[in-house]
Structure 1
Amino acid sequence: MKKIRAPFFMFNPKSYLYGEKLYELAKYADQLAEQYEINVFVTVPFAEIKIVNEITENIVITAQHMDVLDPGRGMGATLPESLFFAGARACVLNHAEYPLHYSVLEKTIKRAKELDMVTIVCASGYNEAKAVALLEPEIILCEPTELIGSGTVSSDDYIKETISAIKKTNQKIYVMQGAGVSTSEDIKRNLELGSDANGATSSITTAKNPSIVLKKMIEATAKYKT
């Protein structure tokens, strides 16, 4: 896994995109990652990981979930080694749409570290962010569950408090803000408030021209490189 550098950006298509539309946008994200020289994480549906890995070079291909599992029994589960073999070098855990019990989360982060995969762990509130930080993931994605997909960004207080809680626990953890991020101005605001990164989904996938929105967000992120 290449070294993570802040600021960075995560594009999370979820299940909005698949097939050729996903490939086209992944290849464009790959070009932008090279052009602007920042880490761009792209979450990819399990069935598409191998293909996206074959057509890109610069993005960090990210699995949308991973199960705590060793090779052997586990029908229908997402085996960490299988995801890594297909090309995933990071994984999202504990998303509001796929929450994990704390003990399971701890074990899954440990399995990811065994494979040198970056863990991006979601947290909704201040206390959850603080608890997740104790598990030492590389990245914590802070987003109030009620704001996901709403187009309404987190408050200044929420951003500052979650960053403070995480950094006081572990300075090495990167903090990403995700809920409601819709424009390059949202990116700018969050970074100026102390975030290391931002993530977006529906503001890109449902746009009339997703490529333009994606470029503006990555461009806005790159302006904060040191």
Structure 2
Amino acid sequence: MSSPLILVNFKSYREGAGNSAGQIGSAAELVMQESGVTIGVAPQFVELHPFCRHYEIPVYAQHIDAVEGAFTGRIPAFTVRAAGCVGSLINHSERRLTIAEIEACVEAAKFNHLESVVCTNNVGVSAAAAAFSPTYVAVEPPELIGSGISVAKADPDIIRNSVAAVKRISPEVKVLCGAGIQSGECVKTAVDLGADGVLLASSVVKAKDPEEVLRNLVSLL
């Protein structure tokens, strides 16, 4: 995706299901069209195909498994691709994987022509993930996730240092940051620190007016 990317993770929030999910999708599509800023979404799994059919925005899965065949309940990469998705999150802090599993999922994404967004929690893990050459590394200090305290303000060094570490290992890998992102100022600070965008969830998904929040997020870009 073109930079900067604002990627909204719906998680398993009730506000990210059914008609509420559709309202977020419509808001993302409208704000993306008006602003020219790429806004991607990672809906809940049952929403992937409808989102890909109904909204002209990049759609990501929240997780994939590097399997296919007789694996009940798993999410093979090829099914995500068949649904119309452009990529997937991998190793979110709420869906942690081993290093070997991360590598296998990145390879499965590549094989199925999907972007991979590998989530990490510090500079060292960001560098390790970059060695697998995913599309993105998304660094999120776990203590700030859902806190309302922006990583861009509370820990700008983790953004700056993660960007430097990732680029030393694999210059083509892009870097997102997340945790507590809630305003256009947060997004601008992240981009000024070298990030290619942000990964966020509750500030949009739980908002009374997701469109208003999205407009604020892109307002300084």
- Superposed pair shares fold, TM > 0.5: yes
- Residues 24 and 205 in structure 2, CA contact (< 8 A), matched pair in contact too: no
Scaled by the length of structure 2, the TM-score of the pair is: 0.94
What pairs with 1:126-145 in structure 2 (closer than 5 Å)?
126-145=123-142
SS in 1 for 2:168: helix
Scaled by the length of structure 1, the TM-score of the pair is: 0.92
Which digits, 9 at most, give the CA deviation of each residue in 1:75-129, with x for residues without a partner?
1111211111112111000000001101111111101101110000001011100
SS in 2 for 1:50: helix
Q: Does 2:126 align with 1:121?
A: no
Deviation at 1:197, TM superposition (A): 0.4
Deviation at 1:160, TM superposition (A): 1.0
Poorly superposed stretches of 4+, deviation over 6 Å: none
What pairs with 1:2-41 in structure 2 (closer than 5 Å)?
4-16=1-13, 17-41=16-40
Deviation at 1:153, TM superposition (A): 2.1
Give the aligned partner of residue 207 of structure 1.
207
Which digits, 9 at most, give the CA deviation of each residue in 1:34-83, with x for residues without a partner?
222232210011111111112112x111000000112x210111121111
Alignment length (residue pairs): 216
Give the aligned partner of residue 95 of structure 1.
92
Deviation at 1:27, TM superposition (A): 1.8
- Residues 27 and 210 in structure 2, CA contact (< 8 A), matched pair in contact too: no
Q: Which moved more, 1:127-136 or 1:33-42?
A: 33-42
Distance 1:48 1:167 in 2: 34
Q: Percent identity?
A: 28
Distance 1:112 1:199 in 2: 19
Structure 1 unaligned blocks of 5 or more: none
Distance 2:83 2:70 in 1: 19
Q: Cα RMSD (Å) of the superposition? A: 1.2
Which digits, 9 at most, give the CA deviation of each residue in 1:149-184, with x for residues without a partner?
111122121111111101111111111011111111
Aligned residue type for 2:97? L
